[in-house]
Structure 1
Amino acid sequence: MDFGNSLALSLCFLFALADLSHSAIQLPGWLGDKKTQAPVLRLNKGAVTAPFDPTRATPLSWHPRAFVYKNFLTDEECDHLITLSRDKLELSMVADNESGKSIKSEVRTSSGMFLQKAQDEIVAGIETRIAAWTFLPVENGESMQILHYEHGQKYEPHFDFFHDKANQELGGHRVATVLMYLSNVEKGGETVFPNSEGRMSQSKEDGWSECAQKGYAVKPSKGDALLFFSLHPDATTDTNSLHGSCPVIEGEKWSSTKWIHVRSFDKPSTNANNGGCVDENENCPTWAKNGECQKNHVYMVGSLDSPGYCRKSCKVCSS
């Protein structure tokens, strides 16, 4: 499933869920292919997993687009992910804006590790459920990262989309992030969006940390999942998606992050390997004939951030 299908389907699903009249920008092929959608909803048998119930998802903000899903994970799933990672944690790193390499930084002081994709039945079930909720295919996701924050540890506000070209070569930008809370936190540890449109209107009663007062904030609650998009529907980066993890004041915080890219993270882009003059979807010639090169210029042709997916059919390059 390509980015045009997967992102547009996710927006269509979430907009309908909230029963809102907002109109999304339609990417090519936005109605999708039922043959590729059906398996997404099939969970592995025998795994101790929560049922997939989209009515538990609530919209938090449209700028950025953010949603919370109550009890996305069971207590058993949360405990299982912690058990898998507890003795394998290392100091968390960040991506250098110029080189794209992972480096140590004071802006991120947690510890963490990456699981393998479909490492076991429970992990595979969670990954499948994420794909069902977001309408973004499993192959577009990175391996789940497990994070542990102790007293005073934090992650300063940052973007999940990339500033360097190196990290965009595999999978393109991160379009969406699913942040799953694996534990409760006695005080602090909130996820905060400093640029969110709701930062001034959210009521902050007792119990919120000083850090959480600086934007729209979400308290960690064991089993809940937070989904937010780092790109606009037209595939441009959304600066409202700036977010951070507030310092833990009391207790400890366990979480799991799933980053999802605009295309497959399991195989390199054909654009990156062929000088950028290729079509990455078999429907590109049809879309081009229907005028999508002009209507959907960023997706079809590209932007300064990344090349488009139908450059050959849009005749903006020579093979």
Structure 2
Amino acid sequence: RQPQPPARFRDEPNSFNTSLGLRRSTTMKLTALATLALLVSSSAELSQDNAGNCASDSADTCEATSVGVGENGPSRGVSNSTRSESTGGCVDNHDRCDQWAKNGECGKNQKFMLHHCMKSCAVCGTDIMDKPVDSEPCVDNDERCPRWKEFNQCEKNPGYMLTNCRRSCKTCQTSITSTIDFGIQQLEGGDNAPQVLAVIRDSKKYMRKVMADPRYASVRETCRNGNAKCSIWAAAGDCQDSPIVPLQCGPACQTCDMQNTQLRCPVPEGDSEDVWKPGDLHNMFERITDSTDGSPYAKYNATIISRPYQSGSRAARTWKLGPWFLSFDNFLTDEESARIIAHGERKGFGRSEEVSKKPKPDGSHEILVSAHRTSYNTWCDKACEDDPLIQGVMERIAHLTGIPEPNYESLQVLRYENGQRYGEHADYIPYQKERPCGVRILTLFMYLNDEFEGGETKFRFMHDMKITPKKGKAVLWPNVLNVSPNEEDQLFDHEALPVTEGTKYAANVWLHMRDFKSHVAERCV
């Protein structure tokens, strides 16, 4: 005898009487599954009005075809769900939840409905979410539960299945999986199991609030436990002791609000922390290019590649007209260049990455590998930063620019092998205007060797000029405008042309409007 579904969900006597032969037939299997999607109560007479509303007085489910509503609600589909009048304080986040639930969307579109229509789908205020961890064994109340699970009844009929078939549907309280999925299934903690299970139980209650509270709308789909040990870490107190765990384990740490970058990383009000005000960019470059006797900057022997118009300089002008752009032929010694390369090789190079332009719902941005950038890179680590030679280079940059080192990103070391390139791009990152660190205002780029062919740095909008690499040479350019130093100067889009022979090594430092280093651990950059 084939198993029968719960009576409240059964439509036709033969809905589950599918032979093994039929299951092997693709067409017949699809037909059987379609029939399952139409299961309704056999103990009540159901009818619908012209609007598709449930007109039954004796049952609280009815079958109707829903209308697709895109991202704001369920898509097309027909299914069924049981609704409870005992809501326990649950709320719906959309005024059409009640109608969607009547039309069976709680089962058909579980991901949306069980998150946003909790009241209408009756999945909060039930013993699934509120029951103490060890209040009852993890069992199925019907021997046919495993069979019903095979026919997707856990998703299609959650009102019954998630309560009465807890083992088959994996909604036992010792499992992180429940009617609301919030990440990787959690380990239970071994000797620390009671505390860990308490964290899991509290996480479920917390996530009920997250799914119902409008303040969490931007993080409902992204606040997840990203590691199987999140609940173990939370029980051990790591949510308070680590800056990373609350971001990786929002449900376990109850820190979903920290998943929203705008809320977690407020930008300082006004410009009191900005290192540049309007006009300061021009003043810095004027200072650096002062070659008069006694100037502390004369030793850098800056060459002007381009600069804004200067009255009375036309006859003797050797530079191009445009934004400030400088080069320094001997910015690094041979020993410094070799040491930077050595630190890069010691640390190890990996494929260079880019930051996506489109933000995720929580305000963060993905890191991407693409054919647009094919080089290898690495970053100066603590051993590198503690090297006196490297410290000397960083102090030189600070003296040259007048910008303090906390505003610097770590020294990036680059390796370009034969054929590798970086397509045209800007160093300026627009979304950093809304970050505590502010935007990249300057780029200092240094060439560490010249035993290769190709690999020039090309600036298409700056008279199509190409900078030929030379060992120890550095170039300095602004990424922002003098009159508005938070806005991008788009003339400095540039590309690293392919290396045609040999291996090119280079390094760069990006300088920010505000303190960068203090916000790295907080992931606010």
Q: Tell me, yes or no, if the aligned pair for 1:162 and 1:168 is still in contact at 8 Å.
A: no
- Look up the SS of the partner of 2:518 in the other structure: coil
In the alignment, the residues of structure 1 paired with residue 300 and residue 277 of structure 2 have an alpha-carbon distance, to the nearest angstrom, of: 20
Q: Report the RMSD for the aligned CA atoms in angstroms.
A: 2.7
Deviations 1:229-262 (A, max 9, x none): 1001121210001011110012211000101111
Q: Which amino acid aligns with 1:112?
A: N
- Look up the SS of the partner of 1:164 in the other structure: helix
Q: Summarize the alignment of residues 205-220 of structure 1 with structure 2, pairs less than 5 Å apart.
A: 215-220=464-469
Q: Tell me, yes or no, if the aligned pair for 1:176 and 1:228 is still in contact at 8 Å.
A: yes
Name the structure 2 match of 1:113: 378
- Say whether 1:101 aligns with 2:350: no
Give the TM-score taking structure 2 as reference length: 0.40
Deviations 1:75-115 (A, max 9, x none): 00000111111141000001111133221011111001000
In the alignment, the residues of structure 2 paired with residue 250 and residue 180 of structure 1 have an alpha-carbon distance, to the nearest angstrom, of: 20
Name the structure 1 match of 2:313: none
Q: Tell me, yes or no, if the aligned pair for 1:180 and 1:224 is still in contact at 8 Å.
A: yes
- Say whether 1:91 aligns with 2:351: yes
Q: Summarize the alignment of residues 236-315 of structure 1 with structure 2, pairs less than 5 Å apart.
A: 236-268=487-519
Name the structure 1 match of 2:285: 14
Q: Summarize the alignment of residues 62-81 of structure 1 with structure 2, pairs less than 5 Å apart.
A: 62=307, 63-81=322-340
Name the structure 2 match of 1:227: 476
In the alignment, the residues of structure 1 paired with residue 407 and residue 355 of structure 2 have an alpha-carbon distance, to the nearest angstrom, of: 19
Name the structure 1 match of 2:39: none
Name the structure 1 match of 2:80: none
Higher strand share: 1
Of residues 416, 426, 449, the one that matches 1:149 is: 416
Of residues 45, 48, 58, the one that matches 2:303 is: 58
- Look up the SS of the partner of 1:126 in the other structure: helix
How many angstroms does 1:61 deviate by? 1.8
Deviates further, 181-190 or 148-157: 181-190
1:65–1:183 CA distance, 2 compared to 1 (3 A): same
How many angstroms does 1:134 deviate by? 1.5
Q: Tell me, yes or no, if the aligned pair for 1:185 and 1:220 is still in contact at 8 Å.
A: no
Q: Which amino acid aligns with 2:388?
A: E
Structure 2 unaligned regions, length at least 5: 1-271, 308-321, 360-364
1:67–1:173 CA distance, 2 compared to 1 (3 A): same
In the alignment, the residues of structure 1 paired with residue 369 and residue 510 of structure 2 have an alpha-carbon distance, to the nearest angstrom, of: 20
Q: Tell me, yes or no, if the aligned pair for 1:185 and 1:248 is still in contact at 8 Å.
A: no
Q: Tell me, yes or no, if the aligned pair for 1:110 and 1:150 is still in contact at 8 Å.
A: yes
- Look up the SS of the partner of 1:258 in the other structure: strand
Larger-gyration structure (1/2) = 2
Deviates further, 63-72 or 252-261: 63-72
How many angstroms does 1:140 deviate by? 0.5
Name the structure 2 match of 1:3: 274
- Answer 1 or 2: higher relative contact order, Cα 8 Å, separation at least 6: 1
How many angstroms does 1:116 deviate by? 2.8
Q: Which amino acid aligns with 2:355?
A: A
In the alignment, the residues of structure 2 paired with residue 188 and residue 96 of structure 1 have an alpha-carbon distance, to the nearest angstrom, of: 28
Deviates further, 146-155 or 2-11: 2-11
How many angstroms does 1:216 deviate by? 1.0
Q: Which amino acid aligns with 1:71?
A: N
How many angstroms does 1:158 deviate by? 0.4
In the alignment, the residues of structure 1 paired with residue 429 and residue 450 of structure 2 have an alpha-carbon distance, to the nearest angstrom, of: 30
Name the structure 1 match of 2:428: 161
Q: Which amino acid aligns with 2:341?
A: I
In the alignment, the residues of structure 2 paired with residue 64 and residue 159 of structure 1 have an alpha-carbon distance, to the nearest angstrom, of: 15
Q: Tell me, yes or no, if the aligned pair for 1:6 and 1:135 is still in contact at 8 Å.
A: no
1:170–1:110 CA distance, 2 compared to 1 (3 A): farther
In the alignment, the residues of structure 2 paired with residue 64 and residue 10 of structure 1 have an alpha-carbon distance, to the nearest angstrom, of: 10
Q: Tell me, yes or no, if the aligned pair for 1:142 and 1:258 is still in contact at 8 Å.
A: yes
How many angstroms does 1:5 deviate by? 4.7
Name the structure 2 match of 1:290: none
In the alignment, the residues of structure 2 paired with residue 7 and residue 260 of structure 1 have an alpha-carbon distance, to the nearest angstrom, of: 17
Give the TM-score taking structure 1 as reference length: 0.64
1:65–1:2 CA distance, 2 compared to 1 (3 A): farther
Of residues 73, 77, 82, the one that matches 2:341 is: 82
Higher helix share: 2
In the alignment, the residues of structure 1 paired with residue 281 and residue 403 of structure 2 have an alpha-carbon distance, to the nearest angstrom, of: 7
Name the structure 2 match of 1:122: 389
Structure 1 unaligned regions, length at least 5: 21-40, 42-51, 200-214, 274-319
Q: Which amino acid aligns with 1:103?
A: L
Name the structure 2 match of 1:210: none
Name the structure 2 match of 1:206: none
Name the structure 2 match of 1:287: none
- Look up the SS of the partner of 1:267 in the other structure: helix
How many angstroms does 1:222 deviate by? 0.5
How many angstroms does 1:11 deviate by? 3.1
In the alignment, the residues of structure 1 paired with residue 290 and residue 516 of structure 2 have an alpha-carbon distance, to the nearest angstrom, of: 32
Q: Tell me, yes or no, if the aligned pair for 1:161 and 1:174 is still in contact at 8 Å.
A: yes
